[in-house]
Amino acid sequence: MSDDATRPTSDRHLPVLLQRCVDLLAPALAEPGSVLVDCTLGMGGHTEAVLEQVPTARVLGIDRDPQALELASRRLARFGDRFTPVHAVYDEIEDVVDEHAGGAVQGVLMDLGVSSLQLDEPERGFSYAQDAPLDMRMDPSRGMTAADVLNTYDEADLVRVLRRYGEEKFAPRIARAVVRRREREPWARTAELADAVRAAIPAAARRTGGNPSKRTFQALRIEVNGELEVLERAVPAAIEVLAVDGRIVVESYHSLEDRIVKRAIARGTTSSAPPDLPVEPETHRPYLEALTRGAEEADAVERERNPRSASVRLRAARRLRPTPAHMLGQTRKESR
């Protein structure tokens, strides 16, 4: 275990746009007994701030990572039954809310991507900066590892993963190198992969854009954890568990995530009536109100203090009314 594991969780993680998230959620949590679902609990920084600043709220904290749940539960023990940890993947939000909140909640928060806990524990294999087993599972107890992907996917599938999830323009060269290497010996370590990616990318392309392995590691992590498929299901489901006047806040860290969130919110904030109708029917009026103009970013002060905030895109919305039946069917179909 790394030295970080012995440090207090509050010292190990700086939540991104912390106060902005609390300020956006607080109006929906003003009534006693109001419930926030923190879909990506991590080490509990956002949840702790809500519980401290909004004494009327309680929080259901979802995480697929048992280590995160254990650390956050210790950090939040002082809040007693105002905090409930739940071991689940956050696309299961409807089941979690049915079990713990009776079917509707006043707030939902998603802070997407890999957590500080996972990045800072070398043995988890998320970081290209430190040698470790090629794991990358957010829940280490189940599912395939990054090594499994590298050792079993055919070359075409590796190209697909690297292009789709890493937006890697040198995907064919990297995939070819992966396949050639595993014919000699199986993939096992992050340092081996980082070296192979660096060698596969033209020298001129390595001079800019940071570590050349970043996109490959991102793509593998997303594939291993099914992150985008989970998000496609989770955002519409999260909107559906919101009570009227409830609020959803989502922090994304790359364009693929943000595109999914943007589409789900735009669907709810846009009239579904044909444009040539003289009067907009009630059933076609928007069921969400955007609380941000586009996607908000961290300011220069926060980016300097917390480098992980540099790529954040925050979007938020308030539920105006229940989702019309014809839109609900469309939403569920698109999220499958």
Q: Taking the CA atoms of 164, 132, 122 and 198 in sequence, report the sign of the dihedral they define.
A: negative
Residue 52 counted as domain residue:
yes
Look at 203 and 219; give whichever has higher pLDDT.
219
- As beta bridge partners, residue 37 has 60, 108
CA distance 314 to 280: 30
Q: Which domain holds residue 330?
A: 3-117+227-334
> Given a cut of 80, is residue 272 above it in pLDDT?
no
**Residue 34 main-chain phi, psi, to 5 deg:** -65, 150
Q: Does the residue 122 lie in any domain?
A: no
Question: Does residue 90 have a known ligand-binding role?
Answer: yes
Is 45 labelled a binding residue? yes
Please say if the pLDDT value at position 15 is more than 90: yes
Rounded Cα gap, residues 208 and 211, in angstroms: 8
The string of pLDDT tens digits covering residues 48-82 is: 999 999 999 999 999 999 999 999 999 999 999 99
Which residues have CB under 8 Å from 259's CB, separation 6+? Answer: none
**209 belongs to an annotated ligand binding site:** no
Does position 6 have pLDDT exceeding 60, yes or no?
Answer: no
CATH of the domain at 144: 1.10.150.170
pTM of the model: 0.88
Last residue of a domain, one of 185, 206, 224: 224
Phi, psi angle pair for 275, to nearest 5° = -65, -20
pLDDT tens per residue, range 206-217 = 877 678 899 999
Question: Binding residue per annotation — 118?
Answer: yes
Query: For residue 120, what pLDDT is reported?
Result: 61
**Do 7 and 113 sit in the same domain of this protein?**
yes
Q: How many domains is the chain built from?
A: 2
Q: How far apart are CA 65 and CA 14, in angstroms?
A: 19
Residue 302 pLDDT exceeds 70: yes
**Could you give the angle at the alpha carbon of 184 between the alpha carbons of 179 and 185, nearest 5°?**
90
**Residue at which a domain ends, from 180, 207, 224:** 224
Give dist(CA 241, CA 230) in Å, integer.
16
Instruction: Give the SS3 label for residue 135.
Output: coil
| Residue 123 placed within a domain | no
Amino acid present at 199:
A
